Amino acid sequence: MRLGVLVPAGNPTIEPELYRMAPPGLTIHFARLDTLAGEPGGADGMERRTLGYLDSMPAATRSLAAVKPDTVALAHTAVSYLTGFTDEPALLDRLRALAGPHAFTAAGAIHAALRQLGTRRLALATPYPETISAAARTYWQAAGFEVVSHRRIDTANIYDETEETAYKLARTADIPAADTILISGTGLPTATIVARLEEDLGKPVVTSQAATLWQALTLLHVDEHVRGYGRLLTSASNPK
């Protein structure tokens, strides 16, 4: 099966992480969303740049169509946050009109993953400027989750951060009242820290990358074992 991924132009993280986590029954194919609004990954102008990626969806989905993907993911969580939870269906309709009926957003994948895990009280960890971080908090509250904790990092560029930064951010966000930790952002490296965090904290950890892969495997009924990257992907070995 083939997964197509629409990724922000400067994102160096999600490609190697998805390749690393993907089971043999899935191939992954990327197209880059172009924008001219500032430094990719930079905090300055991130809001304008994020929304600008939507303008390049038609060209990016056309380039993906040549490999005939079975589903396509819009792997940019922040664009859903700025669009807003109530307007997520319209964003999804726009995406599916371009990429086919099985296309999905990273935020939609996270939403489905949190429901799968039975999440009610969420600890949110974000690498965005305050405006997008606030939009993320509002998004998940509107989606029906209680955001009991929220921590963010001040970073000049998300693409310069490391897995250790993500690990420390998640540890800081965690409080006893939270039943799940969400590390948001497909540009923040997380692949090898999820299982470690779950062992250290004793609760599920969801990331944008893991949720995107989990949703693809579930939609495509890829019955492969995915071990070593947290509880969510372990459950993908028996997709419904």
Q: Residues 6 or more apart from 98 whose CB is under 8 A from it?
A: 57, 58, 61
pLDDT for 168: 96
Q: What does each C-alpha distance from 91 to 80, 99, 104, 215, 225 come to in angstroms? A: 8, 12, 10, 17, 32
DSSP code at position 34: P
Closest CA to 137 of 210, 81, 92, 188: 81
The per-residue pLDDT for 52 is 72
The second-level CATH assignment, the architecture, of 110-208 is 3-Layer(aba) Sandwich (3.40)
Give me the residues of the chain with pLDDT under 50, please: 41-42, 237-240
Q: Boundaries of CATH 3.40.50.1860 in the chain? A: 110-208
The predicted pLDDT at position 143 comes to 98
Query: Considering the entire predicted model, what is its pTM?
Result: 0.93
Q: Using H for helix, E for strand and C for coil, what is the string for 98-130?
A: HHCCCCEEHHHHHHHHHHHCCCCEEEEEECCCH
Structure tokens at 96: 């599916």
Cross-sheet strand order for the sheet of 71-74: 27-33, 2-8, 71-74, 104-105
- Residue bearing tokens 């993906």: 64
Question: Which CATH fold topology does 2-107 show?
Answer: Rossmann fold (3.40.50)
Residue 44 phi, psi (nearest 5): -70, 125
The 10 Å Cβ neighbour count of residue 167 is 21
Q: Which residue has the tokens 């299982």?
A: 195
Distances in whole angstroms, Cα of residue 179 to Cα of each of 110, 128, 198: 15, 23, 11
The confidence score (pLDDT) of residue 239 equals 43
Q: What's the pLDDT at 117?
A: 96
- Residue 80: its pLDDT value, please? 94
User: In the chain, where does the domain assigned CATH 3.40.50.12500 lie?
Assistant: 2-107
Alpha carbons 155 and 192: distance in angstroms, whole number: 21
